[in-house]
Amino acid sequence: MADESPSRRLTYREALREGLREALQNDPKVFLMGEDVGRYGGCYAVTKSLLAEFGEERIRDTPLSESAFVGAGIGAALGGMRPIVEIMTVNFSLLALDQIVNNAATLCHMSGGQCPVPVVIRMATGAGRQLAAQHSHSLEGWYAHIPGLRIVAPATLEDARGMLGAALRCPDPVLIFEHIALLNVEGELPERAVQVDIDHAAIRRPGRDITVLTYGASLSKCLEAAAQLSAQGIELEVVDLRTLRPLDDALIVESVRRTHRALIVDEGWRSGSLSAEIGMRIVEQAFFDLDAPIARVCTAEVPIPYPRHLEEAALPSVAQIVAAAAGLVAHES
């Protein structure tokens, strides 16, 4: 966009913090709670300095009671507040599944529309830091299975800052998945906050040959693969899904109809996955537009191992994406 306002260099982590600060400044009903968000400054330092700025009432350190504080966020939302709940990582969100799946996702429908649940639940996700199997899950696709939830995954600095505000403007429960591998990524952001939506996917790089559908930390890998392939004359169109539920079918299908080829890159496992869902939607809506079978690059079906070489082998890589894309154009229709 032609934004004339001055810009600054920030990290993804700082962009997340900016989003939080803006949300807390804009609405007195917004508060943040979670493990180590206050005194410690956030496990990943995202919430650093917010306690000093906003005080104990609005920046609330919680006990290690995921079910209670996520449920309390849902209850506070029912009670008219706009809570932001931080779960330290997606791995620990499994301890709050009852509240997320049985309450946040159902109360609006089950009450005949009387009880919308405007809670925002943020959590770190993903692998890549040698944290082994219990700290490396990518389960956002799992959550995207659940009607009643909205699932978003900011892959850019702009979304890291802006998606929180969009989530707070939404009356539904929104889960924000912030990939740990992105926290130190730097970029330019305008000084002034820019509103983003959480309804649409975005084409991050246009291209004529293959539609690459991805999100989160895999986006940068896809863009790198696109740059490499461009040198060989293969042009990837890289789509950042941004919102994993509800999926932006219109953009996905429109892009595939133009390129006639689709590659899905997802750090989740492939069995019963978001990538499977996207592939099937393409089959249902654009089958006769395809010139090649849909391809996928996903994480190997193992609990993520600790040693670097094994972890790297398990996760989607630029080389795998390049190879999969090259395979697609080699496929003669």
Q: Catalytic residue at 235?
A: no
Query: Which of 16, 46, 100, 108 is close enough to bind other proteins by CB under 8 A?
Result: 108
State in angstroms the smallest separation of the CB of 185 from other proteins. 30
Q: Residue 269 and residue 302: Cα distance in Å, rounded?
A: 8
Query: Which of 12, 17, 31, 314 is close enough to bind other proteins by CB under 8 A?
Result: 31
Q: Residue 143 and residue 149: Cα distance in Å, rounded?
A: 8
Query: Which of 18, 37, 54, 62 is close enough to bind other proteins by CB under 8 A?
Result: 62
Which of 14, 35, 66, 267 is flagged as catalytic?
66
Q: Residue 134 and residue 93: Cα distance in Å, rounded?
A: 12
Provide the 3-class DSSP secondary structure of residue 9. strand
- Pick out residues in 166-195 that bind other proteins (CB under 8 A): 169-172
141 part of the interface to other proteins, by CB under 8 A: no
State in angstroms the smallest separation of the CB of 66 from other proteins. 8
Q: Residue 116 and residue 112: Cα distance in Å, rounded?
A: 10
Structure tokens at 196: 């983003």
Which of 135, 137, 140, 267 is flagged as catalytic?
135
Whether 60 contacts 32, CB under 8 Å: yes
Whether 214 contacts 314, CB under 8 Å: no
Question: Interface with other proteins by CB under 8 A: which range of 96-104, 220-228, 290-298, 299-307?
Answer: 96-104
DSSP letters spanning 76-117: HHHTT-EEEEEEEEHHHHGGGHIIIIIIITTHHHHTTTS---
Question: Interface with other proteins by CB under 8 A: which range of 62-70, 225-233, 268-276, 287-295?
Answer: 62-70
Question: Interface with other proteins by CB under 8 A: which range of 10-18, 75-83, 189-197, 259-267?
Answer: 75-83
116 part of the interface to other proteins, by CB under 8 A: yes
DSSP-derived pairing of the beta strands 262-269 and 210-214:
parallel
Residue 61 burial by Cβ neighbours in a 10 Å radius (0-12, 13-18, 19+): middle
Of 118 and 216, which has the nearer Cβ to other proteins?
A: 118
State in angstroms the smallest separation of the CB of 311 from other proteins. 32
Of 148 and 216, which has the nearer Cβ to other proteins?
A: 148
Of 198 and 223, which has the nearer Cβ to other proteins?
A: 198
DSSP 323: H
Residue 80 burial by Cβ neighbours in a 10 Å radius (0-12, 13-18, 19+): exposed
State in angstroms the smallest separation of the CB of 159 from other proteins. 19
Of 4 and 57, which has the nearer Cβ to other proteins?
A: 57
Q: Catalytic residue at 267?
A: no
Which of 100, 29, 45, 39 lies closest to 69 in space, CA to CA? 100
DSSP 257: H
100 part of the interface to other proteins, by CB under 8 A: no
111 part of the interface to other proteins, by CB under 8 A: yes
Of 29 and 281, which has the nearer Cβ to other proteins?
A: 29
Q: Which residues are catalytic?
A: 66, 135
Residues found near other proteins in the complex (CB under 8 A):
29, 31, 57, 60, 62-63, 65, 67-81, 83, 98-99, 102-103, 107-116, 118, 147-148, 150, 169-172
